[in-house]
Structure 1
């Protein structure tokens, strides 16, 4: 009787469960670490290809050995349990190997963007007192300058060409290798091959078992609202995601190949594009730097089954020249990281169909504080703003902002998430952690996401807006995402971004930045058509005061539109 009552209560709290079909509402997650999860996958599929990298392929069995050797190397340099090892790498084999090796010795990976400024890198290193760093050769000189301002004991340098096959490696060195200057006689600096060679002298224990709730990785928020925050994630966070995603996405099988374009220093990249495939026998196609001009070549050569990316990546895909059958290999296309406007969604689906793919783009929702993903739209529903159903074991609800009170069905409020994907907290910031992670009356710990959305009558979730992007004009709330959706529906528009700009009397008003499709030039006629479109669909107080056409929009380091840069431009313009 008690189980029956609990089941009914659960369905009331999670009404979307009736849409699950054969997907279980709850899954039992392992109590062990990320690397243990990978090792168990290697025992099931030892001969499967774990990753491919510019002509080089490594099996699961081979990757396990590389991880063990790297773990011994780490120990040989005195790196131990709970030490924070900074990984400043793109998607290369050394970056992946280091993540699991650090996890194997019980350390914590401090993941940072190679293109971070010197000041940002110094903050990332010092904020967690990291004494060891793995850095890609292209940014070594920037990191080396920080040596005296940090407690770094060892700078391990890996070349992009390290994991390539021999012909490509030699070519890369001829073109790029000579540009990097290394100091002579400085024992702080060690090259990857020497670092690995040092493992031979270590005969002690290197495996430090970690549990599900032990810390594993520190990732950083995008930093578009100020100083980036360190986000501490556990082994459970990543392992839960790796099981949830493959339970929900039926196309995910051990012989699947995933185009791993999203970077390892991003939650969506490390969680969805790296750990999830490697915990399930799949192949990661590692791409360290995305070049949209070579997108078609990458697809034809690697034949991925999964494409996982942000909207800008899919924009690039639709501009790629491919033959009618070139996307036949693609069985699943997942978009996350930012809102996907309906115009681009329809364009992508049309492009996939015309080039032989049976897939239709599915929209995921998540944030770094929830390991990158907690929700995915169904494969047969494509409504505007839809983000779909939460994963198994995930609870979601919509609350009136700044309260714990649930919003009615269909009414916008703040999206809150509870479950095994939610972070442990912010690094060295108890105030922000307490503000973001809150216990509600139901006894659950809820992550207040700062995003606006609603639960529809169809029991699916819809994304509306980032709370911090709301424009307040004469006391009225203006939602940029809605205005962008209207503008993007014009046939000539590729994409747009709306921001708030200063206004003497209203405080703020809306301004639209518009990028037109290739081959279409701005004109008074197009501007008039867009304005008329807005007048027909948008409340008068929400209408943009200004419209500006641009060739491109600025992007953040993870590919989102950098609306803060546009806001800064406007503020400077009005000073």
Structure 2
């Protein structure tokens, strides 16, 4: 069954407008807006035409500048190229890439022709890539050359009939391209040109010759546009299906909440395009206002000062790791940050103490703005609430985004709790996903029809709301680790570790990390007859490297004779977490 044949909720519009105590912070027109019945591509292109962005720079990338006029020309060429190679409306095409122009162009080109982009992390293991290609019935793959060493081992076990190879060097200036090839490119294993593999330049040439499509059928707002990824309550990956209307609504919300952004602004696109926050806030929202997007495929904390000095950004968007790099880089001492309008944190919340430290750093370096953070989920594109300049309350994640409604309920129900009481954060509005790809059970657990007749997204997160609508995020109901903004699922790691014949039990917890917020630690109990040896440890580590994304690989392994169990015989991960916390406290206070 194709994605266009799947049944999804249509969430544009309300049966009855929910109550919003925070509406006083917005103009009436900001709370009530229509979502255009067009594609993401058409929405941002229309904005460009309406506001005459044609000569402004859309993308800057390692010495290359692409104007909005050329950006849309490149998208149109790529759209024809995909059509020439057999991609049709509703087909799923996987993009396996970091932030490079060819990946961004591919996303909008696929959107233009009504295909669905499945966005995958290029550091995914080969088994994760194979499972994703098969799970979403991918017909074509757009992949960075650095992933070929993994692709070649699994591609014949999928239905992919053609792979388009793109490279970090493709859009670099001539000098940069030479430097890249001399220092890094020569190390990368690449496929030979064939029927199965096309390089980007050759791929585009097919589009230049393609002339069959005079008029394409218009893409509507309720049609699927992109698949982004999360994990279920068990850690099994889920494909979050977001519509054109979801993304367009998110962009309109951003325009209303951040009205002072325009074509003079510069946004560092450090957040990756396979992340909802990155694809929406750093990329699509920026193009809608004609801003310049500086694409950063690999973020190096040690070079943050050079990045800031060279590009003089007005908007910084990132996860806690980025802001740790900002405040701890010694070479940032003389860097001027006075051009910054917004410094936006996502992926995870920061403590008041860390926010205060970031603000102190910003002000000491000339910034006339504060660090702002919000609350979001990929199931609602990205942002749900935000700490606005004109509506801010320390310790909270702000008020709901304009047009989005939030209710705090008793977990798993539609019964509201009182002001300031803990409950589950539920979301209603035009950015709420269509559903999970081919997963009716998980979709029904996440999307509930409340008594008001509206569809509400149940987040699985605990929070409170005060009398003015400010939300305080408390904790996750789900057992999940967030490392540098990426979701890591303990059960997924445990399943991989327990593939080793020597392992009897395993349990994974999150432990604090100075920059990544949390990282995974694995507790392992071996079967009788096996011993903890360097060789065995190396085998388990290699197993994890082969089957897990780089950010999911445990940073610590602790071997025990046995693991604590609950009364019903399950490994007691809470007990392990408690013991680990106590151990770290003792080490911190110098106790033996």
Q: TM-score, normalised by structure 2?
A: 0.78
CA distance in 1, matches of 2:550, 2:410: 30
- Which of 393, 398, 421 lines up with 1:411 in the alignment? 421
CA distance in 2, matches of 1:376, 1:183: 45
Alignment partner of 1:319 is 2:328: yes
Q: Which residue of 1 aligns with 2:342?
A: 332
Contact kept, 8 Å, 1:91 with 1:264, in 2: the verdict is: yes
Contact kept, 8 Å, 1:42 with 1:64, in 2: the verdict is: no
CA distance in 2, matches of 1:348, 1:451: 26
1:39 offset after TM fit, Å? 1.3
Contact kept, 8 Å, 1:222 with 1:558, in 2: the verdict is: no
Q: Which moved more, 1:280-289 or 1:177-186?
A: 177-186
1:229 offset after TM fit, Å? 0.5
Alignment partner of 1:121 is 2:129: yes
Q: Which residue of 1 aligns with 2:259?
A: 250
CA distance in 2, matches of 1:179, 1:223: 37
Q: Which residue of 2 aligns with 1:79?
A: 87
Q: Which residue of 2 aligns with 1:132?
A: 140
Q: Deviations along 1:389-417, whole A, 9 cap, x unmatched? A: 11121111000012111011101100000
Contact kept, 8 Å, 1:218 with 1:230, in 2: the verdict is: yes
1:76 offset after TM fit, Å? 1.0
Q: Which residue of 2 aligns with 1:530?
A: none
Q: 1:247 to 1:380 in 2, by over 3 A?
A: closer
Q: What secondary structure, in the 3-state scheme, does the structure 2 residue paired with 1:275 have?
A: helix
Q: 1:293 to 1:95 in 2, by over 3 A?
A: same
Contact kept, 8 Å, 2:20 with 2:405, in 1: the verdict is: yes
Q: 1:220 to 1:177 in 2, by over 3 A?
A: same
CA distance in 2, matches of 1:573, 1:415: 37
Q: Deviations along 1:42-100, whole A, 9 cap, x unmatched? A: 31211111111111111111101000110111111111111111000101000100000
- Which of 273, 292, 301 lines up with 2:310 in the alignment? 301
Q: Which residue of 1 aligns with 2:497?
A: none
Q: 1:158 to 1:26 in 2, by over 3 A?
A: same
Q: Which moved more, 1:441-450 or 1:194-203?
A: 194-203
Q: 1:225 to 1:264 in 2, by over 3 A?
A: farther
Q: Deviations along 1:225-246, whole A, 9 cap, x unmatched? A: 5221001000011111111012
Alignment partner of 1:14 is 2:20: yes
Contact kept, 8 Å, 1:315 with 1:344, in 2: the verdict is: no
1:177 offset after TM fit, Å? 2.1
Contact kept, 8 Å, 1:80 with 1:106, in 2: the verdict is: yes
Q: Which residue of 2 aligns with 1:210?
A: 219
CA distance in 1, matches of 2:68, 2:352: 39
1:322 offset after TM fit, Å? 2.2
- Which of 149, 159, 163 lines up with 1:151 in the alignment? 159
Contact kept, 8 Å, 1:386 with 1:460, in 2: the verdict is: yes
Q: Which residue of 1 aligns with 2:563?
A: 574
Q: What secondary structure, in the 3-state scheme, does the structure 2 residue paired with 1:199 have?
A: helix
Contact kept, 8 Å, 2:286 with 2:292, in 1: the verdict is: yes
Contact kept, 8 Å, 2:268 with 2:295, in 1: the verdict is: yes
1:567 offset after TM fit, Å? 9.9
Alignment partner of 1:428 is 2:438: yes
Q: Which residue of 1 aligns with 2:290?
A: 281
Q: Which residue of 1 aligns with 2:454?
A: 444
CA distance in 2, matches of 1:114, 1:370: 23
Contact kept, 8 Å, 1:104 with 1:208, in 2: the verdict is: no
Q: Which residue of 2 aligns with 1:391?
A: 401
Q: Deviations along 1:301-356, whole A, 9 cap, x unmatched? A: 01110001111211111012224551111111111111211121011100100001
Q: Which residue of 1 aligns with 2:199?
A: 191
Alignment partner of 1:269 is 2:269: no
- Which of 90, 103, 110 lines up with 2:111 in the alignment? 103
1:19 offset after TM fit, Å? 2.5
Q: What secondary structure, in the 3-state scheme, does the structure 2 residue paired with 1:386 have?
A: coil
Q: Deviations along 1:534-567, whole A, 9 cap, x unmatched? A: xxxxxxxxxxxxxxxxxxxxxx9797xx6x9589
CA distance in 1, matches of 2:125, 2:233: 14
Q: Which moved more, 1:347-356 or 1:168-177?
A: 168-177
Q: Which residue of 2 aligns with 1:538?
A: none
RMSD: 2.9
Count of equivalent residues:
494
1:18 offset after TM fit, Å? 1.6
Q: 1:78 to 1:571 in 2, by over 3 A?
A: farther
Q: 1:511 to 1:30 in 2, by over 3 A?
A: closer
Contact kept, 8 Å, 1:135 with 1:155, in 2: the verdict is: yes
Q: Deviations along 1:501-544, whole A, 9 cap, x unmatched? A: xxxxxxxxx99955579xxxxxxxxxxxxxxxxxxxxxxxxxxx
Q: 1:239 to 1:381 in 2, by over 3 A?
A: closer
Q: What secondary structure, in the 3-state scheme, does the structure 2 residue paired with 1:250 have?
A: coil
Q: Which residue of 1 aligns with 2:374?
A: 364
Where structure 1 has 5 or more consecutive residues not aligned to the other structure, the ranges are 1-8, 471-479, 482-498, 500-509, 518-555
Q: Which moved more, 1:274-283 or 1:183-192?
A: 183-192
Contact kept, 8 Å, 1:341 with 1:384, in 2: the verdict is: no
Contact kept, 8 Å, 2:222 with 2:244, in 1: the verdict is: yes
Q: Which moved more, 1:453-462 or 1:230-239?
A: 453-462
Q: Deviations along 1:195-252, whole A, 9 cap, x unmatched? A: 1112122111173420111110001116795221001000011111111012111332
Contact kept, 8 Å, 2:144 with 2:168, in 1: the verdict is: yes
Q: Which residue of 2 aligns with 1:64?
A: 72
- Which of 163, 166, 177 lines up with 2:171 in the alignment? 163
Q: 1:566 to 1:342 in 2, by over 3 A?
A: farther
CA distance in 2, matches of 1:424, 1:511: 31
CA distance in 1, matches of 2:217, 2:171: 27
Q: 1:254 to 1:129 in 2, by over 3 A?
A: same
